[in-house]
Amino acid sequence: MNWSFIFFFNSILLGAGLAMDAFSVSMANGLNDPKMSKKRMLCIAGAFAAFQAFMPMTGWICVHTIVEYFSAFEKFIPWIALILLAYIGGGMLLNGIRHKDKEEVSHTRLTAWALFIQGVATSIDALSVGFTIAEYDWLMALVCSLIIATVTLVICLSGLVIGKKFGTKLSNKAEMLGGIILIAIGIEIFVSNVF
């Protein structure tokens, strides 16, 4: 592969495809915290972008160094994503159910640990992208990963904005909806990779 319009276009499309899970989780986070500041939104979207850049590069390194170990690990990726998202989504859903009759819900603040788990869960399937970019040299793989991160950042920011807008309107139902979305994403990742 050489530096061309096709390389950049493919990297943008790859970024858009990989960012869809992170977009949905961002929307759920926006639903959960409709008063989220712009700085916090940028931090959350930046975290997802960083994971989406890190995972393909990690996959690329695995292809060029420890490919036999990575292929053995690959079958566990859907299980890990399902467990992590079901755990976070289940917590949000239970918290929303506990407060469903209250007019004003105290929204659970997204902790750094929960954001880390969300980042891993939504980007872990991007490890396998390392196989698709295996023919790139290290600089092209890095540029591709940075393009994926940029696309993810933009998509996740829009997900947070959409979630905040609807979170304000949904009030006490927002946390339950956010939890259901996270669980559904985990199930979708699992089903699309296992069956």
* Helix boundaries (H) for 66-137: 67-73, 77-98, 112-123, 129-132
pLDDT in tens, 133-165: 877 889 999 999 999 999 999 999 999 999 888
Q: What is the mean pLDDT of the chain?
A: 82
Q: Quick one: the chain helix, strand, coil %, rounded to 5?
A: 85, 0, 15
How far is Cα 62 from Cα 13, in angstroms, rounded to an integer?
23
pLDDT in tens, 41-78: 999 999 999 999 999 998 888 877 876 666 676 777 77
Amino acid at 178: G
105-144 burial, b if ≥16 CB within 10 A, otherwise e?
Answer: bebbebeeebbebbbbbbbbbbbbbbbebeebeeebbeeb
pTM of the predicted protein model: 0.74
